A and B are shown apart, each in its own frame.
Chain A
Amino acid sequence: AQSVSQHNHHVILSEAASLELGCNYSYGGTVNLFWYVQYPGQHLQLLLKYFSGDPLVKGIKGFEAEFIKSKFSFNLRKPSVQWSDTAEYFCAVIHGSGNTGKLIFGQGTTLQVKP
């Protein structure tokens, strides 16, 4: 079965530290890749997405992610985190042709940024 794995379940950083959250997926065909963020008490919002083209994708709030096809990875990065980045981060993959693709989420990574 297709799956999405996020390696870090809970990350604690100080402000200004650099962030990298790992994401690997198991599907070998064409995929679209996403990172969503869920701030405390809120719903999920899109951070960034990769459909095709440049494998380095820029998102909102200074986040970026790199798609490495050979490694089936789509890691999320930010050079300098802020306290307001405290949230849960979800990697997601959609694959499949035609009308049957479904969006699968990883387990999520909780990021806590200390002021």
Chain B
Amino acid sequence: DARVTQTPRHKVTEMGQEVTMRCQPILGHNTVFWYRQTMMQGLELLAYFRNRAPLDDSGMPKDRFSAEMPDATLATLKIQPSEPRDSAVYFCASGRIGAGTGVGGELFFGEGSRLTVL
């Protein structure tokens, strides 16, 4: 069964520390999304990539967050320095979307990385 894999599943860190979350999308998917889920804000889109190129990261605090896709099998989301308000579950999702795929849009989600910043 193909699945989106995220690591770490849980992370507890102290304010000011760097946090890196990793995602392995499903092979053949051309689009990768990073979402953040909190009780207050629900699911927020942070950034997404199409064919490894960043398309939109307007949902991400640029001063501390960065998202990259160094190759087709790895997407990373980094927070530096982390703050308590970053505590959330971060989901990665992948899918086949865009020209030649009929727009598409069905996403497959990873299990999430639960981040707690003390």
Query: Which residues of A are at the interface with B, using a C-beta cutoff of 8 A?
Result: 30, 32, 34, 36, 42-46, 49, 51, 90, 92, 94, 96-108
Contact = CB atoms under 8 A, between A and B. Distances in A.
B103 interface: yes
Contacts of B109: 36, 43-45
SS of B interface (majority):
strand
Interface centre among A42, A45, A97, A103 (most CB of B within 10 A): A103
Contact of A99 (B33, B45, B99, B111): B99
Contact of B56 (A42, A90, A102): A102
B106 A101 contact: no
A34 B35 CA distance: 16
B105 A103 contact: yes
Contact of A32 (B35, B42, B104): B104
A34 B56 CA distance: 21
B4 to A, nearest CB: 8
Contacts of B51: 99
B103 A30 contact: yes
Contacts of A99: 50-51, 55, 97-99
25 contacts: A32-B103, A34-B105, A42-B111, A43-B112, A44-B91, A44-B107, A46-B107, A49-B105, A51-B102, A90-B42, A92-B105, A94-B104, A97-B103, A98-B98, A99-B55, A99-B98, A100-B98, A101-B97, A102-B55, A103-B33, A103-B45, A103-B93, A105-B35, A106-B42, A107-B42
Contacts of A105: 35, 42-43, 45
